[in-house]
A and B are shown apart, each in its own frame.
Chain A
Amino acid sequence: MLSKISSRSLQYVFAYLFVLVSLYPIVLMVSSSLKTNAEIFTNPLSLPGSFHFDTYRKLWEAVPFADFLINSAVVSVTSVVLIAVSSSMAAFYLARFSYRWTGWLYFFFVMGLMIPVKLGIVPLFLLMKKLGLLNSLWSLILIYTASGIPISVFILTGFFRTLPVELEEAARIDGCNHFQVFWKVLLPLIRPALGTVVIINFIHAWNDFFFPLIFIQKDTLKTIPVGMMVLFGEYETDWSLLFAGLTLSALPMIVVFLLASRQFMEGLTAGAVK
């Protein structure tokens, strides 16, 4: 009995100590952004003595953060919408009709789960150059859409298969064509799976910096992660500014997460375990 209790409390200690490991660096990032440089250097671990929001004003002048934010939002939202529309249409076709080629087509899409798109970067670069899309947000939107399609088709096809066919048949008898069945009957039903698809792809598009690093040179077209790299080249000694930059870049995602954390975490694992 005694050993049972102590092993239980050990579990609590372990689980809650690890909260410190996970959160402390993030707390440090936020609190350092409110300190002066002198305070960071003499007392890096403590909470700020007084709050210095000046740094944020300075940051706003140093980098076009509003531009970065808009670019990130445009790229992420557009890719996610394109993924949701195109993948759900494909998944509907793959789950509901069987022709000779549907099996192959499904395999062709799902194969993409194992393709590291990064490795095609050289041909992609030349392709984008040919299409005139270097230094255009469209290069990012198209790549995030394309690379998000395999996992999305995979999740949505699986989900479509679990829906009863009777609903569609009833709609067809009422005179709906394929498009109307898809749009009016099925899309509302697959909302939970669409939520998962939206979340997975949104995190990816919002946080990625590999593709913008290579495709976007113009400052005003940079997304947040790449835009913030500028700070680290130019303000190496101004630590409070660096921490403010990091905090500001992390903030939008953290806010979105805290608003929808449940959906977020369920969504993330839904595809992996089923």
Chain B
Amino acid sequence: MDVSAPERQQGKSRGKAKARWLLHLFPLPALIIYALFVVYPIISAFTYSMYEWNGIARGAFVGIKNFLTLFQVEPFNKMFWNAFGHNVIYFVVEMVVQNGIAFALAYVIYRKIRGAGFLKIAYFMPRLLSVIIVGFLWKLILNPNYGALNTFLGKLGLEEWAKPWLGEPDTALLAIILVNCWFGIGFAVLIFLAGLQSIPEELIEAARLDGASGVTLLVKIILPLVMPSITIMTVFTFIQAFEAFELIYAMQGSMGEPFYSTDTLAVYFYRLAFSSSGGAGDVSIGLGSALAVVLFVIVASVSAVSLRLMRKREVQH
């Protein structure tokens, strides 16, 4: 915040020229580790995508051929769009169910409720489990024969609703996404609540005095003011939806079973890059890297654009 601070500091340290070069060592450890294990691999994925690969050895430079294969050759193109569609559904359902419920819960807590501390802890609990634990736990709960959900439906007299949730193409994807919502709601509640609590008290009071209450207050005053945390949560949800892998892998394996109905781009990527069931007959590092690049471009550009938009809106306030 203090703009003049750095200059002042530099002036001070000019006298100790001897120790000054030591200063530049400070960012180096972080820089080296980050460059080597985050930046370098991502950049390499870009170059890898333009080579032919024979197993694990790099072959000839082929330009954009891998990308063309991905989008134009069967079964790769079908797999791509099938998985892409599932990523979109993932995002939309998470936005509506997870973030919708989370916002309502955060709003109830914000409007003062007894036991708010306990509620926050309770909602957050699922988020502490590793995604793989969440996946296995729900796989057991959703089991068609002995699972708790179908038994529960039976107890309610709704036997005909009972289903092999993860075994049918119609319900499998939705079941997984809802499990993901269960996992993520607590975190979303915290983000929304932090946004709500940062609204200046005076603004709400002033609006109340002007006669705004209930829905009007929420829609006209509160929602616009919590837009930053809504945008942040939207970006998080988007990134998460387009990287969806762990939960699906835990519950349905790397083939997106049944019949690829739960396949996503990241699962498909895993299949191409690490197992021989990707459709290429062998592990395909070139195609896998091409898919990684496409996915990277989708995620990075959407999050960059939305964060930019958010910053613009903030200036207008």
Residues on A close to B: CB < 8 A? 11-12, 14-16, 18-19, 21-23, 25-26, 28-29, 32, 40-41, 44-45, 82, 85-87, 89-90, 92-94, 96-98, 105, 108-109, 112, 114-124, 126-127, 142-143, 145-147, 149-150, 153, 161-162, 164-165, 168-169, 172, 177-179, 182, 203, 206-210, 214, 224-226, 228-229, 232, 239, 242-243, 246, 249-250, 253-254, 257-258, 261, 265, 268-269, 272-273
Is B295 within 8 A of A115, CB to CB? no
Size of the B side of the interface (Cβ < 8 Å), in residues, is 100
B274 within 8 Å of A (CB atoms): yes
- Residues of chain A with a CB closer than 8 A to B152's CB: 45
Is A149 within 8 A of B45, CB to CB? no
Nearest-neighbour CB distance to chain B for A86, whole angstroms, equals 4
Per-residue CB contact flags for chain B residues 169-189 toward chain A (1 = under 8 Å, else 0) read 000000000000010011100
Is A265 within 8 A of B125, CB to CB? no
Residues B141-188 near A (CB distance < 8 A): 141, 146-148, 151-152, 155, 182, 185-187
- Residues of chain A with a CB closer than 8 A to B56's CB: 126
Shortest beta-carbon contacts, A-B, top 4 = A120-B41, A146-B37, A123-B44, A207-B130
Nearest-neighbour CB distance to chain A for B48, whole angstroms, equals 6
Is A122 within 8 A of B130, CB to CB? no
Is B195 within 8 A of A273, CB to CB? yes
Is A97 within 8 A of B10, CB to CB? yes
A178, closest chain B residue (CB): B23
- Residues of chain B with a CB closer than 8 A to A142's CB: 33, 36-37
- Residues of chain B with a CB closer than 8 A to A169's CB: 8-9, 12
B229, B269, B289: the one contacting A273 at CB < 8 Å is: B229
Q: CA A25 – CA B148 in complex, angstroms? A: 9
Is B132 within 8 A of A229, CB to CB? yes
Is A90 within 8 A of B16, CB to CB? no
A213, closest chain B residue (CB): B249
9 A-B pairs whose Cβ atoms sit less than 8 Å apart in the complex: A25-B137, A90-B29, A93-B27, A116-B296, A122-B289, A164-B2, A168-B9, A261-B121, A269-B191
Known: A44-B151, A112-B38, A121-B273. 5 other contacts (CB 8 A): A19-B123, A115-B42, A124-B41, A250-B128, A269-B190
Q: CA A214 – CA B239 in complex, angstroms? A: 22
Q: CA A181 – CA B130 in complex, angstroms? A: 39
Is A239 within 8 A of B9, CB to CB? no
A-B contact count (CB 8 A): 269
Is B194 within 8 A of A273, CB to CB? yes
Is A96 within 8 A of B34, CB to CB? no
Is A97 within 8 A of B132, CB to CB? no
- Residues of chain B with a CB closer than 8 A to A116's CB: 239, 243, 295-296, 299
Given the interface pairs A114-B304, A120-B292, A250-B129, the reply to whether A178 lies near B190 with Cβ below 8 Å is no
Interface centre among B137, B146, B300 (most CB of A within 10 A): B137
Nearest-neighbour CB distance to chain A for B266, whole angstroms, equals 7
B19 within 8 Å of A (CB atoms): yes
Main secondary structure of the interface of B (DSSP, over half): helix
Given the interface pairs A214-B274, A239-B146, the reply to whether A115 lies near B141 with Cβ below 8 Å is no
Nearest-neighbour CB distance to chain A for B156, whole angstroms, equals 11
B9, B119, B148, B296: the one contacting A97 at CB < 8 Å is: B9
- Residues of chain A with a CB closer than 8 A to B123's CB: 18-19, 22
A93, A162, A254, A269: the one contacting B128 at CB < 8 Å is: A254
Is B105 within 8 A of A178, CB to CB? no
Is B37 within 8 A of A147, CB to CB? yes
Q: CA A23 – CA B1 in complex, angstroms? A: 43
- Residues of chain A with a CB closer than 8 A to B13's CB: 172, 178
Interface centre among B41, B48, B121, B269 (most CB of A within 10 A): B41
B209 within 8 Å of A (CB atoms): no
Is B190 within 8 A of A268, CB to CB? yes
Nearest-neighbour CB distance to chain B for A100, whole angstroms, equals 12
- Residues of chain B with a CB closer than 8 A to A98's CB: 6-7, 10
From B63-71, B88-96, B106-114, the one touching the partner chain is: B106-114
Is A15 within 8 A of B146, CB to CB? no
- Residues of chain A with a CB closer than 8 A to B114's CB: 12
- Residues of chain B with a CB closer than 8 A to A228's CB: 132-133, 136
- Residues of chain B with a CB closer than 8 A to A182's CB: 26
- Residues of chain A with a CB closer than 8 A to B191's CB: 269, 272-273
- Residues of chain B with a CB closer than 8 A to A86's CB: 29-30, 33
B31 within 8 Å of A (CB atoms): yes
- Residues of chain B with a CB closer than 8 A to A25's CB: 126, 137-138, 141, 182
Q: CA A242 – CA B147 in complex, angstroms? A: 13
Given the interface pairs A22-B186, A165-B2, A257-B128, the reply to whether A96 lies near B9 with Cβ below 8 Å is yes
Nearest-neighbour CB distance to chain B for A163, whole angstroms, equals 9
- Residues of chain A with a CB closer than 8 A to B108's CB: 11, 14-15
